[in-house]
Chain A
């Protein structure tokens, strides 16, 4: 395929205007040794041939009828409106809205996104997006260390293991120290030298934390420490108490559950929100409302850009430039489409369906609930034979739950099961049947 519109005649004309003989003359500044003959790639494909090849490649990935896998990426229903709106050329083929007067459409959409996220989380300020939940958490930690001028971070166990890995890399790269600890040991480590405490709720194992108690602990022992909460499936905010009501300083989340397909883990959406007092320290783009200079219409503009890399350069608190704008538009349309009652219902269904499965799985001999706290849409269950369970799921075209040994080799025969509103009663029954069948499969139980 080719997207170059010129014919040979046009090219000759243009070369004449420029004043050179042929195109190669334009590359004279490149040393001859560097010029290459060819890239050594195959020839191109026409659209039908390309489509066929890509379809074949896509079919090497299995698409399941239903899914019981979460662990940081979720299957929720995506309203038809989302794709319809983000497919508008004027949105998706546009650039960052630096020329505000010609970009009022997108700027207003981002302002509406900032507004709805702020209302949903009850946090004072939301930015226009970060890359994803994991990097949003890393940037929150860097921001907190900058605000506090301290270099030690406390990480509560239960944060998504891939997120913890990202934090480890960023802390090493940026010169910060971190300590991973259990909530019970928090009191021992809290001091005035701590920049921030970071925790996930609902955590990686699906458990909803007693956030009020945690915040109280931190404020008592280390009053100026920042409290960072991360969340991987924010649909729970249709049901659970929002961070703004819990005195959280920085709240970050993976927004993929809001109208963005799983897409093998990316692109996602880094939701980033802070308390008002951190306005000048928040990374990422911000859209603000303002007035015309020569009139009295109100409009929207990128603002507080002096925080960002293109002005502050090496003194910027973040290097982020391109963010996940189209994904924040998806999230906005999602939240508007489902609305208040829709989000409440979705959260309730996630909660009830998942707890229903949890309760009924525990009735099957050999299966034991491992979650201690209340869970939202994920929970941990001990299985008599997890490989058999996975096999049985595959047989009926169900995406199996996560084998926890994937991240924690010592957690043998433990599964992280996820149930969303998309799991019908039928599919839950099928899963229970598969779980039942799995205990009758011979096999040695691994020691646990």
Chain B
């Protein structure tokens, strides 16, 4: 199965993606993740202003048959959330890397960027899981 993986993004072991933009980052879930979940029906996102630690739960993505926890890829302060998703959660299925972004944060610990994996490494992670 071919999953879309964008080269210019960083990833986590738990299928989140990160786009670093200076001191900020935009995050979302990967194409593999949305595929595993199936049709998404509801997304719960944190409040603006909240500070969330790396690895902590920053939201939940519900499909008909499963619930995925969105884990913060980097410790950060929430500065924006994707408001389109409350009415149209299916955008995450259709465009997980673009229109389906989830949270924009102000990065609070730049060193954590080193823990993220590259597109190639993420490809290996998926291949191992998909067996």
Contacts and interface: CB of A to CB of B under 8 A. Distances in A.
A315 interface: yes
A409 to B, nearest CB: 48
A280 B42 contact: yes
Looking at chain B's contact residues, the main secondary structure is strand
A311 B65 contact: yes
B44 A306 contact: no
| Max chain A Cβ within 10 angstroms of own Cβ: one of B62, B63, B65 | B62
B91 interface: no
B64 interface: yes
B42 A311 contact: no
A311 to B, nearest CB: 6
B70 to A, nearest CB: 13
B41 interface: yes
A138 B12 CA distance: 39
9 contacts: A280-B42, A306-B41, A306-B42, A306-B64, A306-B66, A311-B65, A311-B67, A312-B67, A315-B67
Nearest first, the 8 closest Cβ-Cβ pairs linking A and B are A306-B62, A306-B67, A312-B67, A311-B66, A311-B67, A311-B65, A280-B42, A306-B66
A305 B38 CA distance: 14
Contacts of B69: 315
A312 B60 CA distance: 11
| Size bracket of the B interface | 10 to 19
B64 A305 contact: yes
Contacts of A315: 67, 69
Nearest to B57: A315
Contacts of B42: 280, 306
A224 to B, nearest CB: 14
A280 B67 contact: no
Nearest to A310: B65
Contacts of A306: 41-42, 62-67
Interface in A301-352: 305-306, 311-312, 315
Given A306-B62, A306-B66, 5 more contacts: A305-B65, A306-B41, A306-B64, A306-B65, A311-B65
B87 to A, nearest CB: 15
Contacts of B66: 306, 311
A163 B44 CA distance: 34
Contacts of A280: 42, 44
A350 to B, nearest CB: 42
Interface in B50-71: 62-67, 69
Interface in A254-303: 280
A263 to B, nearest CB: 37
Contacts of A312: 67
A235 B75 CA distance: 54
Nearest to B42: A280
Nearest to B61: A306
Contacts of A311: 65-67
A305 B44 CA distance: 16
Interface string B88-112: 0000000000000000000000000
Nearest to B66: A311
Contacts of B44: 280
| Max chain B Cβ within 10 angstroms of own Cβ: one of A280, A306, A315 | A306
Nearest to A301: B64
Contacts of B41: 306
A290 to B, nearest CB: 11
B92 to A, nearest CB: 15
A280 B43 CA distance: 11
Contacts of A305: 64-65
A312 B63 CA distance: 11
Nearest to A279: B42
